[in-house]
Amino acid sequence: MQLEAVTIDIGTSRPLVLLNTVDADELGAHPLDRVRIEHDEETTTGIVKRTDELVEPGTIGVTEPLSRVRGTVDVTLAGKPRSVRYIRRKLDDVELQPHELETIVRHIHEDRLSDIELGAYASAVYTNGFSLDETKHLTEAMSDVGQRLTWDAPVIADKHSVGGVAGNCVTPVMVAIVTAAGLTMPKTSSRAVTSPAGTADVMEVFCDVEFTTDEIESIVTETNGCLVWGGGVDLSPVDDKIIRAENPLSIDPPGQLMASVLSKKRSAGSTHVVIDIPYGEGSKVESLVAARKLADDLKRVGDHLDMDVSCAITHGADPIGRGIGPVLEARDVLAVLEGDGPESLRLKSVRLANILLEHCGVDASAVDALESGRALEQFGRIVAAQNGDPDIKSSDLEPGAESTTVRAERSGIATRVDNRQLCDLARRAGAPLDTRAGLVIHRTASERVEDDDPLYTIHAETPAKLAEAEALADRLEPIQVRSKADALVERR
């Protein structure tokens, strides 16, 4: 069938085509079927949406990813991609072969799967998991798609956290310490997806984070390191598409998590990686047993990819630092580099930096780098190279002016701090889009609390956002305070 192609904007990044129901019936095309489009000696595939109004008969509407399709085109019905059959096999709990995983990855990269099919893939992995061999092959396939960074230095240091802990912004402190010791650490980080701040959001308080590959190489040549947004470069791009399918379901199965982390590291050219695995109630990894298994599997997959992976299993039941939200976490980071700041953030940053230095064979002390001021100076160099102000002080960083403090209604002990609830509150206050929104935590687990003591302060940029956060705070109890007797009963 010959149709006239017109570009139509329906706000999607998917390669969809809109067919009038008259033409769709003639082709025998149902919703989510594929059609093959031949144009200018090129063949393209689109996913069908039927409509009575948006396009006229004789016309095919193409979305932005297919905008190169113009003029009169030949349209025929196409079959489902082979990857759909492989996804169904995983739904049936069949172990996939390397070529099947490679096909799924390639088709995700080429946008050949519908949102429903991609959701089925995420659900299949969540329900049935991956074997270690599947994870190894999936990681390799994901890192082979997109760009690969290469570096002259024989050792390229890197760090990642599996997440789940509020305020856990140790990465900027670590990069400053490690690069001050002479190591190369080109750190690509993510923006927040479901959290109040990703590392890239925190760094954007100080400087630019979006750069091309050539610009990143120039920054690293000048300073030994960088702190940039990974989405600005095409490293393991399939990972971002899979994450978008997982987020509505709030799932992050271990096999896919490992492939996500290590494919990004391999694509970034990392040779020595320390992975932080926080565990505890409310964390992404809730038990020590699960944390140890994940660490063991990460090391094995790293060995398969010729990456030297070391895992640090850390306490994840409490927030790290006092601030939650871009500006508040940035203030904590800078305060630690200045020689002050939250002790929990300082201790964890030092511990992980020392592990990474030792892992890379460097005889240096993270404490010395902090106390001498070398780490602060190095952080300023990186900020300047990324078009920021190297002389910024932690006192310059002010949270949102609209605020309220939630206070204890009884004396006792803070028996539990819920990371998820704290993050939900910070997001309701406007973080991360409102960079000055978030929370300041005044009490952590096991601390003595007196009646009317401050527990946490909510900051927002507008009265409306503050009111929304206050309404949510009335329904939650992110910091539980119990009398000593009640706390003993709960432990039993």
Instruction: List, run by run, the mean pLDDT of 10-residue segments along the chain (492 residues).
Output: 91 89 94 90 90 93 90 92 96 97 95 91 96 96 90 94 87 97 93 84 96 94 94 84 84 91 93 94 84 96 95 90 96 96 95 96 95 97 98 96 96 91 95 96 92 97 97 95 66 50
102 shares a domain with 64: no
- Residue 486 confidence (pLDDT): 62
Residue type, 397: L
How high is the pLDDT of residue 281? Answer: 76
343 belongs to a structural domain: yes
Q: Domain boundary residue among 377, 394, 411? A: 394
Judgement on whether residues 200 and 228 belong to the same structural domain of the protein: yes
Instruction: Among 78, 113, 145, give the residue marking a domain's end.
Output: 78
117 with 201, same domain? no
CA gap 42, 16 in Å, rounded: 17
Instruction: List Cβ neighbours of 367 (8 Å cut-off, separation of 6 or more).
Output: 350
Say yes or no: 70 and 107 in one domain: no
Strands (E), 201-269: 225-229
Catalytic residues: 252
**Would you state the pLDDT for residue 269?**
93
pTM recorded for the entire structure: 0.87
Number of domains in the chain: 4
Residues 407 and 480 in one domain: yes
Does residue 32 sit in helix, strand or coil?
coil
Task: List Cβ neighbours of 126 (8 Å cut-off, separation of 6 or more).
Answer: 246, 249, 251, 253
**Which value, to the nearest 10 degrees, does the dihedral of the CA atoms of residues 213, 216, 217, 218 take?**
120
- What is the pLDDT at residue 318? 85
pLDDT tens digits for range 116-132: 999 999 999 999 999 99
The CATH number assigned to the domain holding 291 equals 3.40.1030.10
